[in-house]
Amino acid sequence: MRDFSFEVKKTDKHSKARSGIIHTSHGEIKTPAFVAVGTQASVKALSNEDLKGAGSQVFFVNTYHLYLRPGVEVVEKAGGLHQFIGWDGPLMTDSAGFQVFSLAQGKRKTARIEGLEKDLPLVRISDDGVAFRSHIDGSKHIFTPELSIESQVKLGADIMIAFDECTFYPATLEYSRQAMERTHRWAVRSLKAAENRRLGQALYGSVQGGVYEDLRKTSAKFLSKLSFDGLAVGGVSVGETKNEMKSVLEWVLPCFPFSLPRHLLGVGEIDDIFTLVEHGIDSFDCVMPTRLGRMGTVLIKPENRGKGKITKKWNQKDFLLDLTKKDLIFDFKPIEKTCECFVCKNYSRAYLNHLFRTRELLAYRLATYHNLFFVEKLTEAIRHSIEDGSFCKLKKEWLGC
C-alpha cells in the first residue's frame, strides 16, 4: 500500500491556480479536483459505475451519518468504507463537526423526540467535545476529537478531516475567536488521536475564524505548523457572501505551505469553482450538482439554453435549466447537444420532463449523472488549462466578460 503524497505539477502565471496529483493508496486524484458528496456512503441516485462514468475521482462520506447509520462498527467489519461501498478509488471523510454544528445553529435548534415530553436541545458544546442528539431517533451521543478520528480511522477513508468547531454566519468576533481557539486545541488532539492510523490515511487540518482577517490568518498559520498532511478551509459555506468567501481565500491561502494539498469544504457553484482554483485550492466538495439534479435542475452551458448570446458576466443561475418546466414538454433535444454523457446521448428533455413530472425514479439518476459529468468535465478542462497556460482564457469563456 502506497503512502499519501502530493505533487504540484504546474502553476498558472496569472493567478495562484495550480495543477497536481494527490497520490493515495486507492489511486491518484488529479487536481484541481471536484469531490462529489456521498453523505450516507452513496452519492445519491448513482452507482459506483455511474461515478466512474461521470469521471468522478473521489467522493466524500459524512462521518456523522455513518456513525449513526449503519454504525462505524458495521463499516469496520466490512473492511472499511471502500469494501463496504464497493468503491476502489479514493475516499474522503469529514470530521462530523459540520453536521453536529449545523444541527445546533441551523433553524432547528431543538429536536422534538417522540415519547419525551418536551423539546430537547440538539447540541451542547464544551472543550471536551460536542454532546448532541441524533436527528433520527433522539439518542444521545458525544463527539470528541478522539471519537471523530477513531471513527474516521475505522471508516478507513484516504483523507480525513480533523474535528473542528464550525461557526455559522453571522458570528461575532468574540465567538469566532473562541471557536477558532477550540478548533486549534482539537486539531492538536486530532493529530495525537490519529497517530495509529494506517499508512496512507491522510489527515487534513481545518481552518476556522469566520469572516475575520486576523482570525483566519492566525488559524491558517497555526495549523500550517502542525503535522497535517493537507489543509482544509472550513466554515465558508455557511451563509457569507461570495465576496466574503473570496476575502477568506485571500487571507488564508498565502499562509499555507505550497507543498500541502488544500481542500475547501462545501463550496462548488460554477462561478465559485473558478474562484477557488484561481486562489490555489486543490480540491473542493459540494452537493450542488447532485442536489440540483434531484430537484430537476440540470447544468448547461449558457450558449445551449437557446436564448441568444448573453453579454453580462455569467453566474451560477445562468448555468441552470429547470427540466420540470412546462415549456420543455415538446422539447425533444438532449439537455446539451454537445455533451458526451450517456444521458445527453440517449434521452431528450421532453422525456426527462415527463419522468420528473410523473416522479419516476429514473429521473433523479439521469439528472444527477449529467450534472456530475458536467462538473467533472469542467474541472478536467480547468486542469488542462492550467497545464497549457490557458486558465484565464477558459475562465473568460465560461463566465463571460
74 binds a second copy (CB under 8 A): yes
Q: Among 47, 110, 247, 304, indicate the residue that binds a second copy (CB under 8 A).
A: 47
Backbone angles phi, psi at 2, to 5 degrees: -90, 145
52 binds a second copy (CB under 8 A): no
Q: Is 214 a catalytic residue?
A: no
Q: Among 5, 15, 25, 40, indicate the residue that binds a second copy (CB under 8 A).
A: 40
> Quick one: 242 or 294, whose CB is closer to a second copy?
294
Separation of alpha carbons 226 and 220, rounded Å: 10
Question: Between vectors from CA 195 to CA 284 and to CA 130, what angle results, nearest 5°?
Answer: 65
Separation of alpha carbons 103 and 111, rounded Å: 9
> Quick one: 301 or 354, whose CB is closer to a second copy?
354
Give min distance, CB of 36 to a second copy, in A. Answer: 13
358 binds a second copy (CB under 8 A): yes
Q: Among 186, 228, 274, 364, indicate the residue that binds a second copy (CB under 8 A).
A: 364
- Relative to beta strand 202-207, strand 91-93 is unpaired
> Quick one: 187 or 367, whose CB is closer to a second copy?
367
Q: Which of 12, 271, 272, 285 is catalytic?
A: 285
> Quick one: 76 or 244, whose CB is closer to a second copy?
76
* Cell 466578460, residue located: 401
All three cell numbers of 32, joined, read: 484541481
291 binds a second copy (CB under 8 A): no
329 binds a second copy (CB under 8 A): yes
Separation of alpha carbons 261 and 121, rounded Å: 37
* Cell 438532449, residue located: 334
* Cell 452551458, residue located: 301
Contact 253/281 with Cβ under 8 angstroms? yes
Q: Where are the beta strands (DSSP E) in 221-300?
A: 230-233, 262-264, 283-285, 297-299
Contact 145/193 with Cβ under 8 angstroms? yes
- Please state whether the peptide bond connecting residue 170 to the residue before it is cis, i.e. omega within 30 degrees of 0: yes
* Interface stretch with a second copy, choices 152-160, 181-189, 260-268, 327-335 (CB under 8 A): 327-335
Give min distance, CB of 99 to a second copy, in A. Answer: 14
324 binds a second copy (CB under 8 A): no
Task: List the x/- string, 76-95, binding to a second copy by CB under 8 A.
Answer: -xx----xxxx---------
315 binds a second copy (CB under 8 A): no
> Quick one: 325 or 357, whose CB is closer to a second copy?
357
Q: Among 128, 330, 384, 396, indicate the residue that binds a second copy (CB under 8 A).
A: 330
Q: Is 285 a catalytic residue?
A: yes
Separation of alpha carbons 168 and 336, rounded Å: 37
Q: How far is CA 118 from CA 112, 123, 140, 142, in A?
A: 7, 15, 15, 21
348 binds a second copy (CB under 8 A): yes
> Quick one: 85 or 179, whose CB is closer to a second copy?
85
Separation of alpha carbons 300 and 291, rounded Å: 15
Backbone angles phi, psi at 233, to 5 degrees: -105, 115
Which positions are annotated as active-site residues?
Answer: 94, 285
Give the residues lining the site for a second copy (CB under 8 A): 40-42, 44-49, 65, 69-70, 74, 77-78, 83-86, 294, 329-330, 332, 342, 346-348, 350-351, 353-355, 357-358, 360-362, 364-366
